Structure 1
Amino acid sequence: MACRITELVLDCADPERLAAFWSEVLGYVEIGREDDGSIQIGPPGAGWGGPQPTLLLSLSSDPRAGKLPLHIDVNATDRDQDAELERLLALGAKTADVGQDSTVSWHVLADPEGNEFCLLRTRIKPL
């Protein structure tokens, strides 16, 4: 038996803001709050330990230095890449330049706190 990813932890200055953003991006709901201000979001009805990993937005005042060494890739489930890009930008994502050239098939974006993520081209089936 192998391990599987159950949650991703993202340090942030404003867990409330990022929880709202990532909940809209992923179709997640809030599933818990910690006394330290951290907020956990995940798929509706599944919670922690379900088939998809949850996202823990952990309150931190540590400054971020440079590009994240790990980032999230997302794929649209119900629209093409261009329509999903418009939706993500309307939610507060910004385009980001991490050195990619114009020939790549994905869009590099940043969430409201500047954490990079990529919108890939392929549309996938929802769970």
Structure 2
Amino acid sequence: MTARIANVSIHAEDPDALARFWSGVMGYPERHGWPADEEAELRAAGLSDEDISARAEAWDGDSHHQRFYFTRYTHERRQRNRMHIDITPFEDSRATRAELEAERDRLIALGATLEKELTEPWGPYEEYAIMMRDPEGNEFCLQ
């Protein structure tokens, strides 16, 4: 047996807004709440509007694509996250610097902020990555 990543789970102040942002980043359909049948099941189980709005997802329904899951978290963060997501604009090739810069600009238009560019070589390899933050300040890298 082997494992696979089921979800990338992210604590959020506004799960629905962050799901819309990451749907845009990943090219997934824009989220408009839970599907009617799922919402009906949640309500039948006694969940309130607030309970239902405390969770959201960014996903296109394709089991080969990563699902992002957001849950409301209102407690103070005691420390920074110890891991982050690296994304790339292509499935089948390494992006050029110009392609990464174009993707950076697209993500900024969606609500991301630029943290810094990473240009240090790693041994004989050129490393170029763009460190960014989503609208709630979660760090991710574009490479």
Percent identity between the two aligned chains: 32
2:65 maps to what in 1?
52
Q: Considering only aligned residues, what root-mean-square deviation do their CA atoms show, in Å?
A: 2.4
What amino acid does structure 2 have at the position aligned with 1:12? A
Name the SS of the counterpart of 1:65 in structure 2: coil
Query: Is structure 2 residue 119 aligned with structure 1 residue 96?
Result: no
Q: Aligned-pair distance for 1:102? A: 4.4
1:108 maps to what in 2?
131
Cα distance in 1 for partners of 2:56, 2:118 equals 35
Q: TM-score, normalised by structure 1?
A: 0.77
2:23 maps to what in 1?
23
Counting matched residue pairs gives 114
Give CA-to-partner distance per residue, 1:30-62, whole Å, 9 cap, x none: 48477522002212x42xxx1122111101101
Cα distance in 1 for partners of 2:2, 2:110 equals 36
1:39 maps to what in 2?
56
Contact 1:94–1:109 (8 Å) recurs in 2 = yes
Q: Aligned-pair distance for 1:81? A: 0.6
Query: Is structure 2 residue 78 aligned with structure 1 residue 65?
Result: yes
The structure with the greater share of residues assigned to strand is 1
Structure 2, unaligned runs of 5 or more: 121-126
The structure with the greater share of residues assigned to helix is 2
Rg (Cα) greater in structure: 2
Q: TM-score, normalised by structure 2?
A: 0.69
